[in-house]
Every structure is written in C-alpha cells, then in structure tokens.
A and B are shown apart, each in its own frame.
Chain A
Amino acid sequence: MNARGRQEGNAVTQALAQIGLCGLFLLTLLAAVPRSFRYVRETIRQLWFVGAMSLTIIMVCGLFVGMVLMLQLYHVLSIFGGTSASGMVVALSVYRELGPVITALLFAGRAGTSITAEIGLMRATDQIDAMELMAVDPIAYVATPRFLAGVIAMPLLACVFCAMAIFGGHLVGVSWLGIDNGTFWSNMTAEVDVHTDIVNGVLFKSLAFGAVVSLIAVFQGFTTPPTSEGVAYATTRTVVASSIAILALDFVLTAFLM
C-alpha cells in the first residue's frame, strides 16, 4: 500500500474510533443521568445558557426563512395560479424539514460551540481535574446537565423557529403580496397533520438533533487536548461533525417517518 493509501486508511480508522468513543461516551452520560438529578439547578442554568440565550438568533432566522420561503413560493406558484396554497406549502416545508434542521444547525453553531469551548477550557485550566479531586463527578456535574439541557432546549427552539417562520410567511404573503388571510390559514390547517408534521416532523426530529448536537459538543469538549489549539480544533469539529450528523440523520429519520 502506498503512503497516501495508508494515510487515508489511518483517517478512516481514526474517524471510526472517534465514533466508537463517542458511543461509549454516550453510555457514560446516560449512566450518569440518575447521579445528575442532584444537580437540577445546574441543568436549569445550562438550559438558560443554551436555550434562552439562543432565542434571539432562532427567532430572527426563523422570521427571515419564512419570509424568503413565501416570496419564492409565491412567484413559482403564481405561474400555475396556485398562490393560495403558498401558506400551506410554507407550513409543511417548515414543519417537516426547515424548522428542525435549520434550528439544529443554528443550535450547533451557537450553543454547541460554546459548550465545547467552555468544557475544553475547563480541561485546559484543570477545573475538571479539580472537580475529580474534590470528589465531584465531572460527568454528572458538567457533561450530563449540558447534554440534558440541549435535549430539552432543541424541541422548544424548533417550535419557536417554526412559529416565527409562519409569522414571516404571513407577513410577506398576506400583508405584502395580498394573499387572503382566511385562505392562508384555512389551507394550512386543512393540510397540516399534527401527528405527521408537528410530532414527527418538529418534535421528534428536533429531539434527536438536540441529543446528537449536545452529545458531539460535550464529547469534543471532554476529549480535546488541553491546549488553546486543541480547544480551537474541537470547536471547529463540533460544528462540522454536528452539521454532517444533522443532515445525515435528517435523511434517515425522514425515510422512516414518512
């Protein structure tokens, strides 16, 4: 085997090893969940940081996604005289795909990176070791609350994103382009199914995305080399790995849930 082949082989082996380690880390996290119940306040604090503090970016992005989606759909559907269906199409697109996926990507960029950087710096400054030596389990105190906060926050953020996107679509479609308000809402309520589109589309997907992004963020933080360069790389890896995982998982979930 030539040198390039060996390098590619090593890269694949390392990637598989990382996935395996991440799986083991997930088991450790889940095993620590009962122990982390005594740190409920820490979980609530993290919920504030990863959830409430992400609201602004989620709301603004949701609004603009809904607005631009309505604009595009209106122009395409007007060719076929179907502009009255644009509200419904906006809703279905947002509930089934754009809402959970874009929220997860934004969540990875905003909250995932901050979780990785924070834990990485805690490692670099020996704070994690200090906890271990004070007989405080860092998995239960640091990792699990952040993981749980991410899992809880994601579906809530996805709901906010969807609501803002529908509002943006209404703003452009009804207030600006002149679609009838009654038609906009009635088509939407007639076609949107609570189980298929809201429960499976928004809630279930975003719950899975929240778990994956939080797991990757916490895992990268805990396994980063305790150096400034290591933290920088880990933060980048969180965004890259989360983005790929979100899109790949979205395909798998869509295929099973449709």
Chain B
Amino acid sequence: MALAAVFGYLSRFTTVPSSMTESVRATLDDDVLVRIRGLTTVLGGKTIFDQLDMDIPRGKITAIMGPSGTGKTTLLKHITGQMRADAGEIRVDGRNVAELSREQLYKLREGIGYLFQNSALLTDFDVFENVAFPLRQHTQLPEELIRNLVLLKLQAVGLRGAAPLMPSELSGGMARRVALARAIVFDPMLILYDEPFVGLDPVALNQVLRLISTLNQTLGITSVLVAHELAAVRQIAQHVFLIANGKVVAQGDPKTIADDGSPWTRQFFGGEADGPVPFQYPAGDYAQALGFAGVVK
C-alpha cells in the first residue's frame, strides 16, 4: 500500500498523458516552456497588455522587469490561470491554460511553484506543516516519507532547525525561504517568483539569490523572476524581458540589456525620474486646477 503510494508519487514526474497530440509533443520537445502570443488584457478600462508576445526558455532563469504597475504580477497570474486574458494564448508545457478544465488546471499547478512577495505561509500551521501541506493534500504518502521529504526541502533552504516554529516567529527572509521550500516540495517544472528580494537585508537577499540559482542548476527548474533589483538579476538571470506600455520593449542578456540604447532601458536601468514613464500622472491643466486659468499666460 505504502509502496504503491510512493510509486504513485514518483510517476507524476515521469508520465506523459497519452492524450497529448503530436503538436503538443512538439511543443514539449522545444526549448520554450511558457509561450505567450498576442496577450491582451484590459482591467478597469486600462490596457495592461497589448498583443504581448513572450517565450520563456525551459530550464533557465528568466527575469521580468518593468516599471511599477505595468502588470508583471498580472502576467504571472495569467501563466497560472488565476486570471483570464481578454485575448491571446498562453501555453505552459504545451497546454493552453485558457482551455484547461478546473481539474486539468489544478493538475498543471501541481507542477508550478509560486513564491509570493509576502510568503503567504498558512498562519495556522508551523513551518513543517506548511511545507508538508501540498504533500498531504495531493498524495497518500506514508507519514515517514512525508517527514523525510519535508526535512530534505527545509535542509535545502537551510531551515531544518526551524521546522517547529510558527510563521509569526520567522523573519521576512526566513519566511521567504520556507515558502520556497514549500514551492519546491513537488520538484516543479516551473517556479514563479513574485518580487522575491523585496524587504530583505543584504544577507537574506544573497541567501535567496543563491537558493534560486542553486535550485535552477541542480533541479533543472525553469525560473521566472519578477524583480526590480538589476544587480541581483544580473547575477543569476540568463534572460531579461523589460515590459512597459503593455508590450515587451526590450529583451536580452541581463549584462548587456541596459546598453541597448532605447529610451525605455535608459530610463529604467538608469533610474531616471522622467522619460517614457512620465513623472507626472496624467492630469488636466495645472493652472486651471489651481484656479488661475486665464490669469497665468
């Protein structure tokens, strides 16, 4: 019984559904894990994405950067199927996310890890149970194996000793590492990091940075990183997308992308206050707002 559960757990990483068509298999075989075509999203009358195209390479660390409010987190929500686009197509591992049923979408999500900006640990459970949560929900593994898997993942993030602690007893950096352990507990094919470096001190930032890089190399996980920290991104990412105005305005090697000469990269990577992203939020006539219309020429 226990052995069958173990084999059941292992088989989830090796079997390919027989219903997959040849075209899907072809997509699986190529180097792109997430393929986005013509993505268009309008929220509250504002166009977030306008015919956005993006290919996220398999097995690499890809950073998505851009000014605040450009929809980086929204893009992650599209990839996980939390949000539906108004138009366009997103294929993850060959599967069109918009066409998946609820069960198929949940099955896909079992292969995706997601690291929230605020860690999103379950506050009722201690660190051990937080990491064990996905295993308990989706497998019938014996308790001893669950314990070993959880301790293995906690050891990987350097927090095996923190297993009995509650989330409220953790620092921001520790909470993020626990969330990372939870995200990798199923050895996912893809991990999405939503601003993983925000609010971390230099030590915690370097720890998280090293973890992302190590996990990518040792487990062959595809990593998508939404971040603003160019220095950190340069250290670990192999590809960068800069999105603004609903489109990809620049992409390429993180070490050279800042030198491509476009006004977008110049402003974003140079930290200029004004440029294609205006300093002033769109507003009416300033003199008129102050009541000086007609007085000031």
Residues on the B chain within 8 Å of A141, using CB: 137
Question: Does B107 count as interface, using CB distance less than 8 angstroms?
Answer: yes
Given contacts A135-B106, A135-B107, A135-B109, contact A126 B138 (CB under 8 A): no
Query: Is the pair B82, A125 in contact by a Cβ cutoff of 8 Å?
Result: no
Residues from 167 to 191 in A contacting B, C-beta threshold 8 Å? none
Could you say which residues of chain A place their CB within 8 Å of the CB of B121? 127, 130
**A97 interface residue (CB < 8 Å to B):** no
- CB 8 Å contact bits of B95-126 with A (1 = contact, 0 = none): 00000000000110110101010101111000
| Contacts A135-B106, A135-B107; A129 near B137 (Cβ below 8 A) | no
Contact across chains for A126 and B116 when beta carbons are under 8 A apart: yes
Residues of A within 8 A of B133 (CB): 134, 136
- Which residues from 240 to 294 on chain B have a C-beta closer than 8 Å to any C-beta of chain A? none
Name the one of A121, A125, A133 contacting B114, with C-beta atoms under 8 angstroms.
A133
Interface residues on A, range: 10 to 19
Chain A residues 119-165 with CB under 8 Å of chain B are 121-122, 125-127, 129-130, 132-137, 141
**By the criterion CB–CB under 8 Å, are B109 and A126 in contact?**
no
Task: Across the interface, name the chain B residue whose C-beta is closest to A134.
Answer: B134
Per-residue CB contact flags for chain A residues 98-127 toward chain B (1 = under 8 Å, else 0) read 000000000000000000000001100111
When distances are taken between beta carbons in the complex, the residues of chain B under 8 Å from A127 are 120-123
Tell me the number of A-to-B contacts counted with CB atoms below 8 Å.
Answer: 44
- Do B109 and A129 touch across chains, with their CB atoms under 8 A apart? no
CB distance from A225 to the nearest CB of B (A): 14
Once the chains bind, are A130 and B107 in contact (CB under 8 Å)?
A: no
Q: How far is the CA of A121 from the CA of B168 in the complex (A)?
A: 14
Q: A135-B106, A135-B107 are in contact. Are A130 and B137 (CB under 8 A)?
A: no
Determine the distance from Cα of A125 to Cα of B167 in the docked complex, in whole angstroms: 12
| A contacts with B: majority SS | helix
Instruction: Pick the residue among B106, B109, B112, B118 that contacts A125 (CB under 8 A).
Output: B118
How distant is the Cα of A133 from the Cα of B120 in the complex, in angstroms? 11
> Could you say which residues of chain B place their CB within 8 Å of the CB of A125?
118, 120, 123
Determine if B80 is an interface residue (Cβ-Cβ < 8 Å).
yes
CB distance from B50 to the nearest CB of A (A): 26
Nearest to A45 among chain B residues (CB) is: B124
Number of interface residues of B (CB under 8 A): 19
- Tell me, rounded to whole Å, the shortest Cβ–Cβ distance linking A175 to chain B: 45
Q: How far is the CB of B102 from chain A (nearest CB, A)?
A: 8
Residues in B with CB closer than 8 Å to A135 are 106-107, 109-110, 134, 137-138
Residues of A within 8 A of B110 (CB): 135
CB distance from B189 to the nearest CB of A (A): 14
| CA distance in complex: A127, B122 (Å) | 6
| A137 to B116 CA separation, bound complex (whole angstroms) | 18
Q: Shortest beta-carbon distance, B256 to chain A, in Å?
A: 33
B133 to A, closest residue via Cβ = A134
Q: Are B137 and A133 in contact (CB under 8 A)?
A: no
Write out the residue numbers on chain A whose beta carbons fall within 8 Å of the beta carbon of B182.
134
Q: Report whether A130 and B109 are in contact in the complex, using a CB–CB cutoff of 8 Å.
A: no
Q: Are B109 and A134 in contact (CB under 8 A)?
A: yes
Contact A132 B82 (CB under 8 A): yes
Shortest B72–chain A CB gap in Å is 16
> Quick one: which of A126, A129, A133 contacts B112, CB cutoff 8 A?
A133
CB distance A136 to B137 under 8 Å? Answer: yes
Highest count of chain A CB atoms <10 Å: which of B82, B120, B121: B120
- Cβ contacts under 8 Å, B116 to chain A: 126, 129-130
Which residues in window 201-230 of A have CB below 8 A to B?
none
14 more CB-based (< 8 A) A-B contacts, given A125-B120, A134-B133, A134-B137: A125-B118, A127-B120, A129-B116, A130-B114, A130-B120, A132-B109, A135-B106, A135-B107, A135-B109, A135-B110, A135-B134, A135-B138, A136-B133, A141-B137
Residues of chain B whose beta carbon lies under 8 Å from any beta carbon of chain A: 80, 82, 106-107, 109-110, 112, 114, 116, 118, 120-123, 133-134, 137-138, 182
The 8 sampled A-B contact pairs (Cβ below 8 Å) are A125-B118, A126-B116, A127-B120, A127-B121, A127-B122, A129-B120, A132-B82, A134-B137
